Every structure is written in structure tokens, then in C-alpha cells.
Structure 1
């Protein structure tokens, strides 16, 4: 699959004569065949989110999905009489997914054309192709992790979190403290590498270089004393967020080089990227090491550049750091670190700076 065809992160289904046989408003009783049911269940197991965009009465259609035992598989249903392109756009925006990772399936050429005209990056499929979706590379993630299999549940918890946030009367910082957030930064274990690779593939807005590290390349670094492969996970009182970040750091006694920093867009609003950089700055200051970071601009990672700049990183030609010169097309950012205070909005458990195999609370 080419770079222009990333893995689909969300498939949006039409209902009438697509997901089920018949038209609900006319036939009154509609059924889903076993092939479509298998596609829905398997895509969910692969970590592909699924939503609905349908011209129907919302309550009637949703009740039928519940009766069919399928309602639980769909997030953000858009069942209304408006343009489907607007429904697709709303779903993508709510999920914070790039339109290039969204797919739409409908039996009517006119509906597919309307979506394609207004949202040309969305991939559109005719209903008769539904049974073949599982065999297409864009619906076949190269790895399926524990987090992928529970992605729908994690997003649902996220929507509940968002709803409570909207209703919260206090300041944002107070709300974050009310969540009992915990961030864990740990050296990657062998069984976590597939999730780390997935993060480098799926994360675009908060990926400092856009570089994909393969499973084999990451595993080769696990026992390398010069490299730390760190996995970042988060949880709160609503449940686990799962693995939300990855850092690859090359170390010498004098210089730490951040070769990869990527975090999920789902935790941007919690300040996860800033917390990671603050922790790393503090750890480097404790070790007396200079910090340098690889950064390569992509079409979507402006937020990551802002995070680096806000943390105090500036551009350098790395003339005095020849062994850390970044690959062609990549900028070298640097920072002379000073001690940092831990955040007040979350508890951070991270590697002990003195004992490699131990994790301690950042204080």
C-alpha cells in the first residue's frame, strides 16, 4: 500500500440497501446477512472504528440496529436527513482523524459522488463491495494489538469524558485534576513492540519526524544500551487510554538525541506531549546531558513543532554534535536542559534515572 493510501481508521456505513437489505422507511423490517455481520465484527477486532451516515429517522434506525445486535459496534451515528458529506465531516472532526483515513460505503452512486465532491480525500466504496472489504490492504492493519482490539471501547470512554468536560463548571486545569490522570512512561517490553510500530504508522499530527520504525528495527534496539525505546500509556477514572505515545532516545553521557517522539491525537487536550518533554528535560538535566531532537516537517505535524518550541528547543546546525547530525531533510533542534517540576494535573510514573529496571513517581 502506498503512502497515499494509509490504513483506514474509520469506515462509515450507509444503512438502507448497504448494511442491511431493504429500505427501513418503506419495508419496515430489514435484515443483515451473515457476510456483512462478519465484516463488521472483524473490522472491529482489527481496530477499525465504524460509524453510520444514513438518511433515516434516527430513533427508528437505531432501535433496529439494537435489535440486530449491531448498535454497539458503531460510534458517532449520524442518522438524519442532511447531506452525507456533512455527516462524514462531523464524524472525522469528532474523531480527530484525517480525511485520508476515512472510508464511506453506500449503495447509491449519487451519495458517493456527493461525498467525493465535497470530501475528495475520503475513500468511497459501492455497497456490492462490502463483502470484500476484509481482503483489501487498506482495511488490513499490519499489526493488531490489544489496544486495537479495544479501540472502540476506549473511544466511547473518551466521548463520556468529553461530555463531562462540557458540563464541568470549573477551569480546565481543575477538570484535568478531577480525572485522576496517570501517565506511565516505561521501557518497551518485547510484547509491546507491535503497538509501538503501530503508533509510528497511525500517528501523523503528533509525530516529530513522520518516520516509520519497523517491528524488526525496534526489537533490535531493545537490548542496545545506547537506546531507550519508551512506551507511554495513560489512564483515568473512566478507564485506560491505552498506549498513547512512543519515544526513541539515543544516549551518550554528554548528549541525548530524541530520534522519535509520537503521541496519539486523543491525548493532546490533556497536555501529554508537553508533559513528556518536561519529564525528558528534567531527566536529561539530572543526567547532565544536552538534548537534541530530530524534527522533519510534514503536512500535518505543525502541533509537534509548536510543542518542541514551547518546551524551549531551538534550531541548530549541529556542527558541534557531528555524531548526532540528523538525516537529510530533518532539522536538528537542541535544548540545554534545566530541572523541571512535575505536572499538577497528572501523576507520572517513569524510569528511575539511577536504576534501569525500576520505575518511580516523578517528584
Structure 2
């Protein structure tokens, strides 16, 4: 392993023939007790651990969960994509620099690939694992309660929500409800401030590092305005993550933990302090030159109750742009804890739709060979998009829109006819070359004629999903959900809206809606928000049968809340403040007319 004075903050583990002996996809593997102890020791020193493994995500997770080890890892990347790029994704998720990361693997080619894609990363072979706790750069700081791991778990949850929300980053930040407290009594937090001063590089604007004694004198100096920054959002509490020292309108110290990178806290605080003079030293991964402070940050006191805490009803929202817009209204109902699954974001930052019932139902039966071929061949497929948390026992309610089932074209790969793919519009099949230009125009990922010709050659178009198959898939989903979980389905509009490519879509919607109504009437703990009966005229829509007005999205949100209220015997009515905020949001937001269709 390379030697350097810079502390290591993250260790990324390969699994096969590294963390354990054997190859899990081929044989039973043997866990190495010494490696387990190193993993736990690093965690108790505040050093994070992650996974980069070419494997089945489920197999690896199940193995580690069986031995009580899964929770020690953050931002795991377990799939069949190139390791160099996976490692880059892990490092970005943890908001670290490659120089602060160690990668362990038994394959020299993977170690070289990691270095090529992540210049500065440290590398190590499995034979050195037992010596790691003795290295000076892996001493960390005592963390017997694993508080650092807890902070990174919050960061991971936040990143996952952004990746599945489908919202813009600004909207995601607004939805995150970021709260900042400026704590003037810094003495109790002196050690944390000192630790950040020396560990923080990317968000240390002044890089003016002093001794503990000098820091104590600084905090006690009445002529210096000092403050430590406490940050929390709807995902959790990040703790003390920043510090400033201001004298004569000049910042002597100004630094933040990388855990809150891209939150905009450093910009918000700089404006809050009156944009004082600052001498920025070296490279910094943020700017203070924005003309106005971020509007998504709230200034609170820790004595205030935390905003928007769960009222005990945990709800997962899964679907496409229809529910994404409905969520803006649902967020005002603070009696519920809303979580979302809208899109899957692949390593190229392409947003892939993963809410079709065929993907949910088929996820357990895809083979590794099929996943590998599909991912390499089609840019609109990635094995990671098959993951969902909708079947977890922690949700009281799952709200699921089946609108993609109404719209998408269904294909069978000619070499794997036992599985299906869902993509685009069934009015524009990829097997017809005359559709290529319009498909490229309307898709949300980068496609070209060459890629579409491959799809034409490799796929058999089977039409849209049938009403019978939709009901069959939903019955499977209902059966897999915990019996106690309330399932609320959201269907599509039946209003005729002209579209140059998708004529008479409303007729298909009406047939699917009829099947869905019959299904929900017969299923226990299953309810329908019947958009087909809520929206009655073209004035309820914007540019297509699947895109609605603000009033329509609000009506759908109210119908969802009404079902939950009735089911759980509660009153979630908005107070006057929330009603005013909702009205203000409606006034500020223009009608949602997406530029992309698939």
C-alpha cells in the first residue's frame, strides 16, 4: 500500500477472495474472522467502509446480513459495471477525495483500474489486511458508539432519495427541509471544531490551522465572533458540521464538514454574516460568490421542535412524474413521513424508469447473464433499477402509480424470450425504424440511430401491457407486500387529449382503468385513487393525457390523504399556516410541462 501522511477516511472492500475466501456466485464462501475484526475496528475508529464487488447485490447483501455485518458498510456498489467508475461513484457519494480512500482487491487489474479512474487513491492487496489497524493513516478517532457511521448512513439515505426522486437538485434541497443552527457557545464543541479544522480540506476556505490551546484562546476572545454550525434535515441530524471565526469583518476561520457538501450551507452562512472579507487559501469545492443566499435553508434554534417529523404513518411513493408533482402537495401533510422512489439514476446519471410492474415482478428471476447482456446492450436498462424498498416491513402505506404500465412498450429479447423489457411508448415501437427520430426527440436519455437499430434487431415488440397482465402483476405485488401495508394505486386519465404520436391513448387508459377498478374491489387492504373519474375535461391537462394541471395534482393528493385518514382513523387536515404555504407554492410554480416524454 502507498504510504502518506494524509489520513484515510474510507476503506472500500472487494468481497470475493478478499473480504471472504471463495467466489459467492460459484461456491459457498468462508468468512475470514480476522477481516471481520479489522472491519469493526476501523468503524470504531470513525473510518468508513464500503463495498465494490462484481457480484449479485442480493447474494452479497444476504451473506453479510446473515452475519450481522451489512450495516457496517455505506454506499455499496455491487453490480457488474467497471470497478474504476463504481469506486468514483462511492467516493463522490461519501463526498471525499481519492487521496482519503483505500481500496482493497485481490485482482491487480482492478487495483490499476481504480488508480486510473481515481488518481491519488491508495490500494492494497488482501495479504495486508491484518496490518491495516497498525498503519498511522488508519488510526482515526475513537468512536465507540459508531456516531460517524450513523452520520454517513444519513448521508447515504439523502443521496438515495435524490437519486430516486426525479426532482431537480434545487427542488430536492427544498424538499429536504435543511435547518441550520448557529451555536454561539463553542467551548463544549472545541474538540469537534479542532478535528474538523485538520480533517476538512474540500470545504476549508481559510486553511488557517492552529493548536488546541490557540483555538481555546480564540473561542474565549471577546473581540472575536465565533460560531459552530449544526445542520439537520428530514433525513437526520448531521451534528456539528461547520465553524467560523470573525473579527473586524474579516473571517479568520471558515470551514465545514464534507458531509454537508452541496447543501449550500457555506453560501447561506456567508450571506447571513454579511459577506465579510475572506482570504480563500488553495482549492475549495464550493463558491461564496452567489448573489443571494440559498432559499431552501431555514435558520432555527435547537430549542425549537424539529420540523416535519413523522407522525407515525410511513408512506412510500413510487411512480413517475404524476406522483412527483402530487408529492409537492403531500409534503404539506406533516402527519405522515413521505419517502419516494421515482427513478433509477445509473452511473452515467441517466434517469431510468423503474416503476413498470414487469420490472418489479421479474426482478427476482433475472439471471446474472441476462442482466449483464441487457445492461451492456441497452442504455435504457441497468440491473440496479430492479431494486425497490416497497416490500420492506417499515412502510404502513405504499402509493403506487401504474401509469407507466399504460404507456410503455413491452419487448421480448430474442435471445431471452422468457423475460421482458418496458421502454418508451407503445405507439412508437423501437422495431419500426420510421419511429427513430421521434423516439430520440422524446426520450430522457441519450440515444442514437445505431443504438436503436440494435434494439430493432434484438427485440420483439409485443405491444403495451395487457389489462390481464397488469392485474396478474399487481396481484403478485399485493401478495409480496406485508399484509398490514395499505396499497394505494393511482391510475390514468380517460380524457381525449390530442398528441401527434399517441392518438386515442385515452381509449387504452379506459380499458386498463376498468380492469384496475375490478381488481381493487376484490383485494384486501388495497385502494384506488381513480384519476379517470377525478379528471373530466381537457382543461384538467397540460400537453398530454398523462400530464395534469396544478389543480388536478392537488385533487389527487387530497384523494390519497383521504384514503389514509379513513384507513387509520385520523384527521390530517392542514392548519392555516400550511394552507397559506401551499397557496404560495401554487402561485410560484408554473404549470408542469415536461420537455421529455418517456
Displacement of 1:140 after TM fit?
Answer: 1.4
Displacement of 1:205 after TM fit?
Answer: 2.1
**Contact 2:205–2:253 (CA under 8 A) maintained in structure 1:** yes
Determine the structure 2 residue equivalent to 1:94.
Answer: 93
**Contact 1:221–1:228 (CA under 8 A) maintained in structure 2:** no
**Contact 1:5–1:100 (CA under 8 A) maintained in structure 2:** no
265-274 vs 159-168, which moves further = 159-168
The structure carrying a bigger strand percent of its residues is 1
Given candidates 298, 315, 323, the residue that maps to 1:347 is: 298
Determine the structure 2 residue equivalent to 1:295.
Answer: 280
* Correspondence list, 1:199-218, <5 A: 199-218=196-215
Determine the structure 1 residue equivalent to 2:161.
Answer: 164
62-71 vs 204-213, which moves further = 204-213
**Contact 2:93–2:156 (CA under 8 A) maintained in structure 1:** no
1:214/1:144 CA distance change after superposition, 3 Å: farther
In structure 2, C-alpha distance between the alignment counterparts of 1:13 and 1:24, rounded to whole Å: 15
Displacement of 1:232 after TM fit?
Answer: 0.4
SS in 2 for 1:292: coil
265-274 vs 100-109, which moves further = 265-274
SS in 2 for 1:198: helix
State the Cα RMSD in Å: 3.0
**Contact 1:182–1:235 (CA under 8 A) maintained in structure 2:** yes
SS in 2 for 1:294: coil
1:168/1:31 CA distance change after superposition, 3 Å: closer
**Contact 1:145–1:194 (CA under 8 A) maintained in structure 2:** no
1:187/1:67 CA distance change after superposition, 3 Å: same
In structure 2, C-alpha distance between the alignment counterparts of 1:111 and 1:180, rounded to whole Å: 40
| 1:184 aligns to 2:181 (yes or no) | yes
**Contact 1:199–1:264 (CA under 8 A) maintained in structure 2:** yes
SS in 2 for 1:151: helix
In structure 2, C-alpha distance between the alignment counterparts of 1:214 and 1:42, rounded to whole Å: 28
Could you list the runs of 5+ residues in structure 2 that have no partner in the other structure? 305-598
| 1:273 aligns to 2:266 (yes or no) | yes
TM-score normalised to structure 2 length: 0.46
Could you list the runs of 5+ residues in structure 1 that have no partner in the other structure? 283-290, 312-339, 352-357
In structure 2, C-alpha distance between the alignment counterparts of 1:15 and 1:164, rounded to whole Å: 26
CA deviations over 1:316-343 (Å, ceiling 9, x no partner) = xxxxxxxxxxxxxxxxxxxxxxxx9x86
Larger Rg belongs to = 2
CA deviations over 1:200-220 (Å, ceiling 9, x no partner) = 222222211223233232122
Determine the structure 1 residue equivalent to 2:79.
Answer: 80
| 1:245 aligns to 2:225 (yes or no) | no
Q: Number of paired residues?
A: 303
Displacement of 1:10 after TM fit?
Answer: 1.0
Determine the structure 1 residue equivalent to 2:345.
Answer: none
Query: Structure with the greater relative contact order (CA < 8 A, sep ≥ 6): 1 or 2?
Result: 1
| 1:151 aligns to 2:148 (yes or no) | yes
| 1:104 aligns to 2:103 (yes or no) | yes
